[in-house]
Structure 1
Amino acid sequence: MTDILTIVAQREATSLTPALLNQIRNAVRGAPPVVLSAGEAADIPLSVPLDPAALHQALGDKPIDAIVTKSRGRRKALLIADMDSTIITGETLDELAGHAGIGERIAAITRRAMNGELDFKAALRERVAMLKGLDLAALESTWQQVRLTQGAAELVATMRARGALTALVSGGFSFFTARVAARLGFDVHRSNLLLDDGARLTGQVAEPIRDRDSKLAALHELAAQRGVRLHATLAVGDGANDLDMIRAAGLGVAFHAKPVVASQARTRVEHADLRALLFAQGYPASAFVVSRWDRPGA
């Protein structure tokens, strides 16, 4: 058996009952399920190539994700993660813009950029220019609104505890990545720098701008630093600027992603939270390292 089918349910909406697991197992002609978290996640070893149509029929419209991995090398030595709408629930630039009264205008540009409809660098410069004159206090106010995605703390803590290098790479801003990285314990964080005059934003971002090329380069660099090949890496993100690193990683996950990313990624998580990335590596819930941090103010 060379492949493992990992089934992960959206915990708040449905449950993996023994009957449902048996139904899925029979549909894919797999071995008996190995429960990773009762009602939430299970591995089904595959003895024959997966039949996507049979799996789809067994799952129906239930909010359940299905991830296929090789049985060897499942546990990854490097985690590289996007920040906005991945490790945290929102887009910090859009929320920052809300303090300037232009949240919807900037959010519209963000949506197009994250779906690959606009050049990322040009779109970032345009949005930052619209924030010229914004008081620096708005950065701290925005930080207080940041919320971590469910499962983010467990993902980082568990992988670090198993010796993985963890990196937060973002097309956003260092004011936020530094704080998220410190809160969750990421080993590395890389992002863009908003420029200010000591009191207000200047409407500029420091060059060079970190974009999809920078994220892919970071994946290669950090894998070399960790001394592993790309098949031993995990990359996760939601936007077009994450697509290259998602494609290149051994386990590349489009997480609640924009359509252009979801359509091109080999692995998608559309329903479950970030715990799914641990289940996909074969970790049972009993092995998760739990962090008490679930929000900046905790």
Structure 2
Amino acid sequence: MTALELEPLPSMLIEPAVKAALLEDLGRAGDITTNATIPASAKARVVIRAREDGRIAGLDCARTAFRLMDSSLKVAVQKPDGSDVMPGDIVCAIEGSARAIITGERVALNFMGHLSGIATATRAIARAIEGTKARICCTRKTTPGLRALEKYAVRAGGGQNHRFGLDDAVLIKDNHIAVAGGITAAIERARAHVGHMVKIEVEVDTLDQLREALAARAELVLLDNMSPAQLREAVDLVAGRAITEASGRVTVETAPAIAAAGVDLISSGAITHSAKTLDLGLDFDSLRA
């Protein structure tokens, strides 16, 4: 299967996170084990290999980790981000200083395993809802400092991104409604505050709340924790007047029924905050002095 076509992240978004991880690992004296046991002149060729089925993401993070350790290291990619892998598949090969490779290995694999896990979790739900119009999307439930990377991994898994931060769009949730004095009041205040380019979404728990949100001309409605039957009623009630997004208790098992209700989007925090790390390993192919 061919890889998804992905626009790579700018290096300035990747490098600070990878550099911080390397600095954390290197500490005050560097890799004392590797420096003590591996000659400075030793060269190696290694491969990063998949140990389970999954979807790859995070190769640029791995590449950056190795480059920051030694800019002369050569990285040859065989399975780019967005590719599906099976156990034993070679994702990429790295060649050059053995010291640099061994020292950068854990940071490179940490990023790749984590981001590939997110891509794999996203892929599972995307596949479960194939044949419907619904798309799986992420939330702001991301690891602090890694949001851009994790949302990229969602795209690598075939999902799409919700807002990146609090300044992207208006999302009026239950606490906003409670303090503002109701859905209509919250929407009216939001519309008076933001510019014409900013969309307004409202979270609703009941059909009565949905009716009020539609009457106040919400552009998107977040249908929270509704059953598939309630979602079908909600979609019929919206009748194309707003984009519909379902959230709450989304899993591979529940997603098909949610999607079949006719919603436009299904949002899941679990694909970022609870994704299992994809098992990837670094194996030596050759070593020379």
Q: What TM-score do you get using the length of structure 2 for normalisation?
A: 0.32
Structure number, greater radius of gyration: 2
